């Protein structure tokens, strides 16, 4: 779309929270509600991305240039009214969590155990959610108590945090990794490294796949966005 504003600024709202003004007019979501941020730092970061988007008034901009806005808009428009659908969707990743599926190749399985088990132990100690580990791709049934505990861990997140988890978990293929990223147990780069452990191992043997590299770069960028967004929301 065409950029129709000269200046984007963050301001506090008398009723609470912070807003972003485009030439003095509130930045609004597609449904018409004004965008409201929970922190001043997030409002300032969103104002900065709108100030840069499109270059100057009359320039072309896309929503890809305002990723923080997209995440907050998802939280405000789609999650805040009823978080249950997002909670249930995220909780399902625990049923087939990447970290529970080890290779049949002994060398790769040893690497996975060395790199992944500590996070499964962390999930057990932190949430009371021991998960069953298996070899191969056949599904393994996880303890109901553990699934319930991980669901409760997801449910404890605010709408903005759920939006971030909703971007992280699919890319990682792991609810445990997504929760660890949210909790600061791992950073975005480490979460990504652990999620692509299998692919990296195979590349050492068979060479790189350009399409896989592009996909992984997109996931890495998403995880970096999640990490930044969470830090701004919680500041």
Q: Which of 57, 79, 101 is the last residue of a domain?
A: 79
pLDDT digits (tens, 9 = 90+) for 181-214: 999 999 999 999 999 999 888 887 877 778 888 9
pLDDT digits (tens, 9 = 90+) for 87-98: 999 999 999 999
Residue 3 domain-assigned (yes or no)? no
**Maximum distance among all Cα pairs of the chain, rounded to whole angstroms:** 62
Residue 1 domain-assigned (yes or no)? no
CA dist., res. 202 & res. 198, Å (int): 6
Task: Give yes or no: residues 144 and 160 share one domain.
Answer: yes
Task: Give yes or no: residues 109 and 19 share one domain.
Answer: no
Q: Which of 79, 94, 111 is the last residue of a domain?
A: 79
Q: Which of 56, 79, 102 is the last residue of a domain?
A: 79
Say which CATH number the domain at 162 has: 1.10.3580.10
> Could you tell me the pTM of the whole model?
0.94
Could you tell me if 96 and 134 are in contact, meaning their C-beta atoms sit under 8 angstroms apart? no
Structural domain span for residue 73: 8-79
Averaged over successive runs of 10 residues, the pLDDT of the chain (235 residues) comes to 94 94 95 94 98 93 95 96 97 97 94 97 98 91 98 98 98 98 98 94 80 91 98 96
Number of domains forming the structure of the chain: 2
């Amino acid at each position: 779309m065409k950029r129709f504003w000269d200046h984007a600024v963050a301001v506090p709202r008398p009723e609470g929270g912070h807003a972003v003004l485009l030439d003095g007019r509130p930045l609004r979501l597609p449904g018409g509600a004004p965008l409201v941020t929970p922190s001043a730092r997030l409002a300032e970061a969103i104002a900065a991305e709108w100030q840069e988007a499109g270059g100057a008034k009359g320039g072309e901009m896309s929503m890809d240039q305002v990723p923080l806005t997209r995440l907050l808009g998802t939280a405000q428009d789609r999650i805040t009214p009823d978080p249950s659908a997002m909670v249930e969707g995220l909780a399902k990743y625990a049923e087939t969590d990447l970290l529970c599926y080890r290779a049949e190749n002994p060398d790769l399985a040893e690497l996975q155990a060395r790199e992944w088990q500590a996070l499964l132990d962390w999930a057990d100690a932190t949430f009371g959610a021991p998960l069953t580990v298996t070899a191969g791709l056949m599904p393994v049934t996880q303890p109901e108590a553990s699934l319930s505990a991980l669901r409760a861990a997801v449910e404890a997140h605010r709408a903005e945090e759920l939006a971030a988890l909703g971007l992280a978990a699919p890319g990682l293929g792991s609810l445990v990794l997504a929760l660890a990223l949210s909790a600061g147990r791992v950073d975005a780069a480490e979460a990504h490294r652990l999620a692509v452990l299998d692919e990296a191992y195979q590349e050492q043997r068979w060479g790189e796949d350009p399409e896989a590299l592009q996909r992984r770069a997109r996931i890495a960028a998403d995880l970096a966005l999640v990490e930044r967004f969470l830090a701004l929301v919680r500041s």
